[in-house]
Amino acid sequence: MSHKRNKPSQPSTKEQRIGELEEQLTRALAAIEKLKRQNELLHAENEELKRAGKRQAAPFARRKLVEHPKRPGRKAGQGKFSRREQPTHRQVDQTKKAKLHGCPDCGGRLKDIHKHEQYVTDIPETIRLVTTRYVTYSGYCVDCHKRVRSRHPEQTSQATGAAGVLVGPRAKALAADLKHRLPAPVPQVQVGGSYAKVSETLNDAFGMQVSRSGWCQADQRLAKTGRPVYQELIEAMQCSSVVHADETGWRIGTLSAWLWAFTNQEAPVYAIRDNRSSDVVVEILGGKFHGIQASDCFLAYDDKRLKDWLKQKCLLHLLKDLKEMEESKTGRAVQFAQQLTEVLQAALQLKAEKTGLDPGIFAQRAQILETQLDALISRQRNLKDRENVRFARRLRKHRPHLLRCLYMDGLDATNNLAERQLRPGVIIRKTNGCNRSKVGAQTHSVLTSVLVTCRQHSILDYMVSLQQFGKTPPSLIRSP
């Protein structure tokens, strides 16, 4: 009896088609999921850009929390640790004793009694204002036929009559410091911000009943007096070896403006202008600036008038942009950002280790970094991703100004110095709404520059001497 061998059944055309469709469906679902993730990323970036248009602090907000943040406070080996000094016997104004006659719980007798001391320094409950009466005399000169008048060296004005009741120079200096240098981080704190808060603070603390318009007019007169000092700071900035510059959005009334900060290691210069062009850079630093200008890659710092200037571009700004590129790329496109990040981070590390390295070893490592950077952004490199191409072109444009910090000891690789000087302005912008007029903007520029700089002196004493007729304030510029 013959038996036929059963042949394995071949899939029919219909089954093959079903398999192909299932495979296509799987690929389509995967593509849809990928597009969905990209859409969510683009939506988040779009929302971030909308917030950036309203408030410039938005682009600097972190996308996610740091997993292992740095511990607050002084780091080990950085700076000198010291406790608060104990007051001397002459510095103690009063002594209050809390005697212990028995156990406060059961009333029992005590033995082995020890004495403990604590010192508390506080503001007195009532602060008495000091009112000074200046008596001056005037007379007619029979020789030169003029009416002359005496003036006390400590007077700040010769007004008499209805205008002869004035606020003193120390109160004006304190009000200006509260308004322009000590902005409050939160609106609820009655320090800084608006003139209304300054008026309320001084009224609560000292009983000075001065309207906000009175403090505003006092600041305008004080800024006029401090204008020569402000000009002295600008001239000193033009002679500096290194100047860091940055700018942030501002308002003058309802019009857009920008707050500029130019600073070195000693003093800042603030300027509020209605434009964000290179004209401000040339105005403050001069057309023939011979130092090194450190900044980010904003176009205003790369004008053709500044092409011969020595510059240093902030490496942290570039690393931030590279991190965003790395998070948005996949596949081989992400390697460009990763490789550039490694080179720039190695440059920062080499800068930090320079003082402890042999000059020959340092020069060798620096040359390796120069070669690696040139290779990564070379025109001959065939980059496929458009964003990578644009970033490489951007680095080629600023190539002479990227690693100059390695060879200059006093040159920082970042622009953090200028950004720190702008932070108080950013807080004022949030709590006070900037300035209402051009006069207010000029007043803020002058007083902020002078107040921040004279921190190396006693601020109140310096501002008092600036207002008094018989005193010449010391120079804010340190002699070399």
**pLDDT above 90: residue 162:** no
Higher-confidence residue: 72 or 347? Answer: 347
The answer to the question of residue 271 being in a domain is no
User: Is residue 354 one of the residues assigned to a domain?
Assistant: yes
Listed range (111-115, 177-181, 184-188, 431-435) with the worst mean pLDDT: 184-188
Does residue 389 sit in helix, strand or coil? helix
Residue 441 maps to a domain: no
**Arithmetic mean of pLDDT, 343-369:** 93
pLDDT greater than 90 at residue 477:
no
Q: Is residue 46 part of a domain?
A: no
Is 304 part of a structural domain of the chain? Answer: no
Q: Is 225 helix (H, G, I), strand (E, B) or coil?
A: helix
Element housing 27 (H / E): helix 13-54
Burial 297-336 (b: 16+ CB within 10 A, else e): beebbbeeebeebbbbbbbebbbebbeebbeebeeebbeb
Which of these ranges, 10-24, 27-41, 51-65, 441-455, has the smallest mean pLDDT?
Answer: 51-65
Residue 426 has pLDDT above 90, yes or no: no
- Confidence grade of residue 189 (pLDDT, cut at 50, 70, 90): very low
Strand bridging mode 255-263 / 310-313: unpaired
In sequence order, what E strands does 320-442 have?
A: none
The structural domain count of the chain equals 1
Q: Point out which residues pair with 44 in neighbouring strands.
A: none
Bridge partner list, 263: 244, 268
Beta carbons of 354 and 363 less than 8 angstroms apart: no
CA distance 321 to 288: 32
Of all residues in the chain, the percent with pLDDT exceeding 90 is 39
The pLDDT confidence band at residue 186, using thresholds 50, 70 and 90, is: very low
- Out of 56-70, 143-157, 279-293, which region has the weakest mean confidence (pLDDT)? 56-70
Q: Residue 375: inside a domain, yes or no?
A: yes
- pLDDT tens across 206-255, in order? 888 888 899 899 999 989 988 999 999 999 999 999 999 999 999 898 88
Q: pLDDT digit string (tens) for 392-424?
A: 999 999 999 999 999 998 899 999 999 998 888
For residue 192, the model assigns a pLDDT of 47
Does 336 reside within a domain? yes
Instruction: Please state the rounded mean pLDDT for residues 351-378.
Output: 93
The pLDDT tens digits for 99-133 are 898 998 998 899 889 999 999 888 887 788 889 99
Q: Which domain holds residue 355?
A: 315-413
Does residue 374 carry a pLDDT above 90? yes
277, part of any domain: no
**More confident site: 44 or 372:** 372
